[in-house]
Amino acid sequence: MALSGLGLIQLQRSDWAEAGALFHQALELAPAESDAAAVQHTNLGALALRQQDWGRAAEHLQQALRLARQQQRPSAIAVVLELQAELALAQADVTQAQALWHQAHTIYQHTGQTRAAQRLAQKLQTGAEEK
């Protein structure tokens, strides 16, 4: 997970090449059907989203969602759904973005993640907002 953490730092610094390299290394080291693989697919999806590479973002987020569901990790599922909503919004699919935010909101409510639920409730009330 150290590679993943370093990748997140590079992502925040907008050093996308280094972030991508670190996330790919971490994914290579992760067991194929593991939580760690789900995290790296989530990270790679978020990176592709920032790079506006919609196809790659969709692929990684779909893999992350599949693994998070397989591992029965509701919080991870909600995070991926939020990223998929951002992807839908970036592609001007407001209806899909709102549906995905609603799913994530429901998970956050059921898992007691109040701040995340409130943040998404605000987005759902005001409609899809661009960052």
Domain end marker among 72, 87, 110: 72
Q: 82 and 44 share a domain? A: no
Helices and strands (DSSP H and E) totals, the chain? 7, 0
Alpha carbons 57 and 51: distance in angstroms, whole number: 9
Q: What tokens were used for 110?
A: 């059921």
- Reported for 111-114, long-range contacts at CB under 8 A and 24+ positions apart, including other chains, are 111/74, 111/75, 111/78, 113/75, 113/78
SS3 content of the chain, % helix, strand, coil (to 5): 80, 0, 20
Q: 67 and 15 share a domain? A: yes
Structural domain of 113: 73-131
pTM: 0.89
Domain end marker among 57, 72, 87: 72
Alpha carbons 61 and 83: distance in angstroms, whole number: 8
Predicted pLDDT of residue 1: 60
Give me the residue label for tokens 């972030």. 19
Q: 68 and 5 share a domain? A: yes
Predicted pLDDT of residue 126: 76
Q: 35 and 55 share a domain? A: yes
Helix 94-110 with 114-126: angle, nearest 10 deg: 150
Q: How many residues does the chain have?
A: 131
Q: 102 and 131 share a domain? A: yes
Q: 2 and 44 share a domain? A: yes
Q: 77 and 48 share a domain? A: no
The tally of domains found in the chain comes to 2
The CATH number that applies at residue 26 is: 1.25.40.10
Q: 60 and 47 share a domain? A: yes
Q: 102 and 122 share a domain? A: yes
pLDDT tens sequence for the chain (131 residues): 688 889 889 988 989 999 999 999 999 999 988 999 999 999 999 999 999 999 999 999 999 999 999 999 999 999 999 999 999 999 999 999 999 999 999 999 999 999 999 988 888 887 645 44
The CA–CA distances, whole Å, from 68 to 30, 65, 95, 107 equal 14, 5, 24, 13
For 35-118, list the strands marked E by DSSP.
none
